[in-house]
Amino acid sequence: MNRVFIINYNFVRILFCGFTLMALLAPVVSVNGQISLSKPLIEKWQRKLEHETNFTPTTGSNSLFISQPNGDLLSIDMHDGSYRWKAQIGGIITSATVADEQAVYVASASNSPAALAAHPLGSLRRISSESGVTVWVRSFDAPICDGIMSNNSAIFGSTSDGHLFSVEKKTGNILWNTSLSSIICSRLILSNNRLLYATTTGNIASIDPKTGKQLKNYRTRSVAANSFSVRGSDLYWGTDDYYVNAWDQRLDISKWRVYIGSKIQSITPTNKGLLVIAMDNSVYMFSYRNGSKVWKRLLTERTAALPLTKGDTVLIAALLGGECIVLALSNGERINLLSLGDGNNISASPFIYHDLLFITTHQRIFAFAGTLPNTQERELNMLPR
């Protein structure tokens, strides 16, 4: 039976590279579907996971693919949460996965004491989305630890020893492999036929995804981990000295720079402006044009996941306590609150797929839909919790 949630209208790097990056490697999700974050939601199903996870699931073929740090990859039916298959990768999964309609692409590394003491190798593999069978495996000299990204024909990723690579989806052949002068500290972003990334030394680079040749390199003071984002021709990033920066790639000039007085958790372009979440639990909306502050709101709990934007709303998941707050992008006012219950800590980023909202906690995954148009469910929605 579907369970109705009452919503209050008033109101990593991973092992080898640190676990905090896992939740932030998922792409920012902004969709247009029937589900509304500003209206009541029905829990369609929930599934307890065999092991705790910080990874955001990936999607394809009407399935969710959930990576678990012990090396298991789970395929779950998006409609009812039933298991389709489980693949044992071997070793540990070291990066959030990507998927298309035919396959899932998984990065892993050996966790044997001998390998860790010597020279840990990394692997990238293609797994059939229908059967869970491995199609090919590509080995690397170091673990893949800053996330992988894909287009129609290739997978892109970086390794902990400072290499950036492209692998052909169909065959697993390496298309190019480039040695970098510093380590990548952001997720990879594909935008306007360019692959962009930021490094620990403050460089922001764009390269040709077909050849791996560098197209542009921007030297900055620093780039705070996980704070790099792109909108059209504009680059946005945070610095370790608490500034939010905007750069116009076409004119090759700085647009603006704003001091916020705290480390930056995430930067997300929205249809109302640039959404910035700081480590002091502050949420800001800045004007794209000149960086002026549109509004500021203080959260009651810290967040570790990327925010989910849809239309004129944003859902922000608390790290502890299992609460997801929904704000209006226009003014920052709280318009909804979704509570999953105590113990449902959230590091993975919420996302929408086929008009369902999915929220992954450390131990469970929840699927929500919009309120169904029948009297019984509307009446249930009015009952106190």
DSSP calls for 123-184? EEEEEETTT--EEEEEEESS-EEEEEEE-SSEEEEEETTSEEEEEETTT--EEEEEE-SS-B
Q: What is the distance between the alpha carbons of residues 22 and 225, in angstroms, rounded to a whole number?
A: 12
Q: Which residues have CB under 8 Å from 10's CB, separation 6+?
A: none
Q: To which residue do tokens 């939601």 refer? A: 41
284-308 pLDDT, tens per residue? 999 999 999 999 999 999 999 999 9
381 secondary structure, DSSP code: H
Return the closest-CA partner of residue 346 out of 302, 298, 284. Answer: 302
pLDDT of residue 269: 97
3-381 belongs to CATH 2.130.10.10: yes
Spell out the residues 6+ positions from residue 348 whose beta carbon is closer than 8 angstroms to its own. Answer: 22, 23, 26, 53, 54, 55, 56, 57, 305, 360, 361
> Is residue 378 within a helix (H) or strand (E), and if so which, with residue range?
helix 375-381
Closest Cα to residue 35, out of 336, 382, 340? 336
Q: Domain segments of the chain: what residues?
A: 3-381
Tell me the sheet residues that pair with 166.
156, 176
Output the pLDDT for position 113: 62
Low-confidence ranges of the chain (pLDDT < 50): 1-33, 375-385
For the whole model, what pTM was predicted?
Answer: 0.85
For residue 51, the model assigns a pLDDT of: 87
Rounded Cα distance between 319 and 82, Å, is 26
Q: Map tokens 């680079």 to a residue.
A: 205
| pLDDT score recorded for residue 15 | 38
pLDDT of residue 187: 87
Question: Hey, what are 29's tokens?
Answer: 């999700």
CA dihedral for 59, 121, 304, 43, sign (positive or negative): positive
